[in-house]
Structure 1
Amino acid sequence: MIKKIDCLGDFCPLPLLKAQQEYKRIKSGEKVVLITDLSCASSNIRDAFEDEKCIVEDEEEIPGIWQITIKKL
């Protein structure tokens, strides 16, 4: 399962809070995908999920728009 979250226009720390909330709901092997226009969201999410058993990947899909994927291991 992949849970997509639209965070376009959200200010810090909303993307991180939304990611943490959804991460708690998913099971091992599932993903949370955030779409954001906030450049610092990726580093904030990486830092916050550092101690979790997950993989965090980010990609700038369009200039100024990032897709951040968190996969629970």
Structure 2
Amino acid sequence: MARFEIEIWGEMCPIPLIKAKKKLLSMECGDILVLETEHSCTSRGIVVWAKANRYLIEEEEVANGIWHLELTKTHD
């Protein structure tokens, strides 16, 4: 299992979701993709997409207005 991070600070959807989808293509099942954002709409959009596409996702507001997401690749 590997952990990857992509930079999405200051970006609004759909750019963070496009970056996440692209990175997931190169990851193995069980790998984790870590994202942090200061935009609640970006966080929510990624969470909704991940759940709809059967990925595991954990979302936590780690500071006022800062969301930490951990998306686990569960399938190809």
Q: TM-score range by the shorter chain?
A: 0.7 to 0.9
**Which sections of structure 2, spanning at least 5 residues, go unmatched?**
none
Q: Return the alpha-carbon distance in structure 2 between the equivalents of residues 18 and 4 of structure 1.
A: 11
Give the % identical residues.
32
CA RMSD in angstroms comes to 1.2
Distance (Å, rounded) in 1 between the aligned partners of 2:71 and 2:35: 8
Higher strand share: 1
1:43 CA displacement: 2.1
Shift >6 Å, 4+ stretches: none
DSSP 3-state at the match of 2:16 = helix
Report the TM-score, using the length of structure 2 for normalisation.
Answer: 0.83
Count of aligned pairs: 72
The alpha carbon displacement at 1:68 in A equals 1.0
- Gaps spanning 5+ residues in structure 1: where? none
Q: Distance in 2 between matches of 1:51 and 1:7?
A: 21
Give the Å deviation of 1:38. Answer: 1.1
